[in-house]
A and B are shown apart, each in its own frame.
Chain A
Amino acid sequence: MKILEFAKKEKMVTRDFPVVPYEVTEGFRGKPEYSYEKCLGCGACAVACPSNAVTVKKDEERGLSVWKIDYNRCIFCGRCDEVCPTEAISLSKQYVMCVLFDKEDLTVTGEMKLRKCDSCGRYYSTERLYNYVYNKLISAGWDRATIDEKAKHLKFCPDCRREQAINNYVNQMTKRG
């Protein structure tokens, strides 16, 4: 039996798995790790996620934006990692994900304060996202007046912003006659 000769050539290849962890290669796509400190709550990951593992929901009563990943649904494609502007979510090399009894243990949640629109008072974005964009404007190196002018638009929700733009336009037109 030639096959036995072939089998003899190599010694045992079975690994002592749970004791000696299986080594993954560079660039392995494992469990996405979430960093609450870096997260802005922008929701880019939730839009990109093909399997709806990442969700961002508004909790209007508590004024919070609830970011949640459900590892039960995750397919480890790494789209969230690609689109995240602040690297708040990135794939790790971890692949053992077992929980006992409670499926909720396989979820990670982050809650962020929502920001109200200055005009209509409805929640429209997170405080963190507002601050992030504001700081970006400052880092662009404009003077105070320009920054204030530009930041004015940040304080309103998209609906109000649209309304204001129309109003401004109408005002300009009527002034001109």
Chain B
Amino acid sequence: MEKTEIKGKKFISELGNLFKVEVIRHQPDDQITILVDRNDLPEVVKTLYYKMGGWLSTMVANDEREINGNYAVYYVLSMEGNKMEEGDELPPEEKCWITVKALIPAHDPVYPSVALKVPAAVWYEREARDMMGLIAEGLPDQRRLALSDDFPAGIYPLRKDSIDYREKFAPYDLDKEPDYDFLYPEGEGVMDVPLGPTHITSDEPGHFRLFVDGETIIDADYKLFYVHRGIEKLAENRLDYDQMAFIAERICGICGFAHAVSCIESSENVTGLDVPLRARAIRTICLETERLHSHLLNIGLASEFTGNVTAFLQMFKIREQTMDMAQILTGGRKTYGMILTGGVRRDITDVERKEMNRIMDKVEIEFKECLDGIIDSPNFLKRLKGVGVLNKKIARDFSPVGPNVRGAGFNRDARYDHPFDWYKKVDFKVPVYGDGDVLSRVLVRAGEFLESISIIRQCLDLMPSGPIMVKKPFVEPYSHGVGFVEAPRGEDIHWTMHGNAQKVHRWRVRASTYNNWPSLRFQFRGNSVADAPLIVGSLDPCYSCSERVTVVDVKKQKTKIIQMEDLKKYAITRKDSPLKN
């Protein structure tokens, strides 16, 4: 890999004039880590965020007591420019990742809250307090985020000493599982560990509270993280880099490949591994195939929520063909099991290439016709236009990602801002619509769908020959890096710190939707209850996320629980409001 100038030096020298900044690097050329004092943290992040055009991509709390005796927090910012107006962004050679690190002494795990200055950090800091016991002083929202409310206080699952690693847990026999009866930790040695991070996608429960005045939502709140799967903790000190990819892709049922690539590239980026070009092209093709079927699903769902079931089924008919493409590429209907550190596991033959091209031609024509049919219906436009508007200023504050932010007029796209894999070599446009409503998001997805087909075509045509796998490199212990991918739902960040024995020390997964949730509340405001599923659906989490909705009428002070089925029925027919009586 050719050595280029370290990016981001300009920002660091500007920061150096204002604060005491120490540069430490463990990372490739476009990723730079700075160490600041914990008291300077909010100001440094604020300066990077608002003055220099950064967006908060992820925040990691890490237990480094065995390395340097401290805890640490890392704020990972993607430096792209403010993007509030057209042209207001950094030139490509200045775009980079800046990680702000602050050490927090183990005896005093407190740091000043960044969320007061940069609202995007609020969920991250709540999670850091739950999982690592690091208290953000002044954090506006003091509720628990990730842990359940009955979880014993004082146990922080992601701390290294919270469980004994020598203990091996056998797979649980469901017959022997005790009944749900919490509050049992009594006496010494009893420990209950809810493992890992969660990921807000398919079939996940979440409890939404909509505060309504009549039919209009005036505010909303939601509790998620009901399904905590323990993937972060599972990986720690146990999984090697080959196994990690297979676990990572199980995070999501739809953008699994994006997670695998992101996870693997977070370690490849650190070592500067020169992945063969053919492997990079195949990764790109798989990522785009994933985007094809994900966007078809979401456009279909948008039609279903507005009562157009025919369009929904037609979209699924087209989607089935993209699933066939995935099967040709990877041997499964989902793009799973393709990737290992150093390359990909399966090559594309010429026969497969021709078959892919044939399917894509058909899909493209059918999609255009079908979309035309959907958009043409005035009912559809009426339901989507002006609904669930994401204000531009709120979007800037909360760093949302994916079609959500692109529908609000920002051209944020990891493929465009930080071209990885083969995206440097292909031509593509980033569809941006400025209204910020549900319609804009649907149109962004439609535009991206066509761009994806064009990207796959270019990759298949220009793909060089050569090896698809190189030998695994040695990863330096305690080095850390960011892996980033533009998943169908937006930027998907994995942050990995590598430990001894080529195993993971800390793995932080930030799925795309995580950044979209905090601003959802503002998107709800002022809309009708009937539009709530549509708004949630337009973020493209799974719609079952709003399985159970409690509606609180502010005037009457009455609470009523509505089943998702009723609400969906009301969203379609707009008759027989479940709020009545």
Footprint of B on A, CB under 8 Å? Answer: 1-7, 10, 13, 24-25, 27-29, 48, 50-52, 73, 75-79, 82, 91
Subset of 24 A-B contacts with CB under 8 Å: A2-B369, A2-B377, A3-B311, A3-B377, A4-B310, A4-B373, A5-B373, A6-B366, A6-B373, A7-B314, A24-B327, A25-B328, A27-B331, A28-B331, A29-B330, A29-B331, A48-B242, A50-B247, A75-B250, A75-B336, A77-B337, A78-B331, A79-B246, A82-B345
Q: Which residues of A contact B308 (CB under 8 A)?
A: 3
B317 within 8 A of A: yes
The reply to whether B377 and A1 form a contact with Cβ atoms under 8 Å apart is yes
B372 within 8 A of A: yes
Cα A82 to Cα B242 in complex, Å, equals 13
The reply to whether A75 and B246 form a contact with Cβ atoms under 8 Å apart is yes
B376 within 8 A of A: yes
Chain B residue nearest in CB terms to A2 = B373
Q: Which of A13, A51, A78 meets B317, CB within 8 Å?
A: A13
The reply to whether B314 and A28 form a contact with Cβ atoms under 8 Å apart is no
Q: Which of A6, A10, A13, A29 meets B332, CB within 8 Å?
A: A29
| Apart from the given pairs A2-B376, A6-B370, A29-B331, 9 other A-B contacts in the complex at a CB distance below 8 Å | A2-B373, A3-B314, A3-B373, A10-B317, A25-B327, A28-B332, A50-B242, A50-B247, A77-B246
Chain B residue nearest in CB terms to A93 = B331
Proximity string of chain B (203-245) to chain A, C-beta cutoff 8 Å, 1 when within and 0 when not: 0000000000000000000000000000000000001001100
Q: Which residues of B contact A25 (CB under 8 A)?
A: 324, 327-328, 331
A50-B332 contact in complex given A6-B314, A10-B317, C-beta closer than 8 Å: no
Closest Cβ of chain B to A146, distance in Å, is: 32
Closest Cβ of chain A to B48, distance in Å, is: 38
A29-B337 contact in complex given A3-B308, A75-B246, C-beta closer than 8 Å: yes
The reply to whether B337 and A78 form a contact with Cβ atoms under 8 Å apart is yes
B374 within 8 A of A: yes
Closest Cβ of chain B to A13, distance in Å, is: 6
Cα A2 to Cα B328 in complex, Å, equals 32
Cα A13 to Cα B319 in complex, Å, equals 12
Main secondary structure, interface of A, reads: loop
Q: Which residues of B contact A3 (CB under 8 A)?
A: 308, 310-311, 314, 370, 373-374, 376-377
The reply to whether A2 and B372 form a contact with Cβ atoms under 8 Å apart is yes
Cα A135 to Cα B10 in complex, Å, equals 65
The reply to whether A76 and B377 form a contact with Cβ atoms under 8 Å apart is no
Q: Which residues of B contact A28 (CB under 8 A)?
A: 327, 331-332
Q: Which residues of B contact A4 (CB under 8 A)?
A: 310, 373
Chain B residue nearest in CB terms to A91 = B331
The reply to whether A50 and B243 form a contact with Cβ atoms under 8 Å apart is yes
Chain B residue nearest in CB terms to A82 = B345
Closest Cβ of chain A to B353, distance in Å, is: 14
Q: Which residues of A contact B336 (CB under 8 A)?
A: 75-77
Closest Cβ of chain B to A25, distance in Å, is: 5
Chain A residue nearest in CB terms to B239 = A50
Cα A3 to Cα B331 in complex, Å, equals 33
Footprint of A on B, CB under 8 Å? Answer: 171, 239, 242-243, 246-247, 250, 308, 310-311, 313-314, 317, 320, 324, 327-328, 330-332, 336-337, 345-346, 366, 369-370, 372-374, 376-377
Q: Which residues of A contact B317 (CB under 8 A)?
A: 10, 13
A76-B327 contact in complex given A1-B377, A50-B243, C-beta closer than 8 Å: no
Chain B residue nearest in CB terms to A49 = B243
Closest Cβ of chain B to A151, distance in Å, is: 32
Q: Which residues of B contact A7 (CB under 8 A)?
A: 310, 313-314
Cα A82 to Cα B246 in complex, Å, equals 15
Closest Cβ of chain A to B336, distance in Å, is: 7
Chain A residue nearest in CB terms to B337 = A77
Closest Cβ of chain A to B68, distance in Å, is: 32
Q: Which of A5, A29, A51 meets B246, CB within 8 Å?
A: A51
Q: Which residues of A contact B320 (CB under 8 A)?
A: 13
Closest Cβ of chain A to B457, distance in Å, is: 20
Q: Which residues of B contact A13 (CB under 8 A)?
A: 317, 320
Chain B residue nearest in CB terms to A51 = B246
Cα A60 to Cα B68 in complex, Å, equals 45
Closest Cβ of chain A to B231, distance in Å, is: 12
The reply to whether B337 and A6 form a contact with Cβ atoms under 8 Å apart is no
Q: Which residues of A contact B324 (CB under 8 A)?
A: 25
Q: Which of A24, A27, A76 has the largest count of B CB atoms less than 10 A from its CB?
A: A27
Closest Cβ of chain A to B463, distance in Å, is: 18
A76-B332 contact in complex given A13-B317, A24-B327, C-beta closer than 8 Å: yes
Cα A2 to Cα B310 in complex, Å, equals 11
Closest Cβ of chain A to B333, distance in Å, is: 9
Cα A117 to Cα B376 in complex, Å, equals 78
Cα A173 to Cα B132 in complex, Å, equals 56
Q: Which residues of A contact B243 (CB under 8 A)?
A: 50
Closest Cβ of chain B to A110, distance in Å, is: 20
Closest Cβ of chain A to B379, distance in Å, is: 10
Q: Which residues of B contact A77 (CB under 8 A)?
A: 246, 336-337
Q: Which residues of A contact B366 (CB under 8 A)?
A: 6
Q: Which residues of A contact B331 (CB under 8 A)?
A: 25, 27-29, 78, 91
Cα A27 to Cα B336 in complex, Å, equals 13
Q: Which of A4, A6, A52 has the largest count of B CB atoms less than 10 A from its CB?
A: A6
Q: Which residues of A contact B372 (CB under 8 A)?
A: 2
Q: Which residues of B contact A73 (CB under 8 A)?
A: 171
Q: Which residues of B contact A75 (CB under 8 A)?
A: 246, 250, 336-337
Chain A residue nearest in CB terms to B370 = A6
Q: Which residues of A contact B328 (CB under 8 A)?
A: 25, 27
Cα A79 to Cα B320 in complex, Å, equals 27
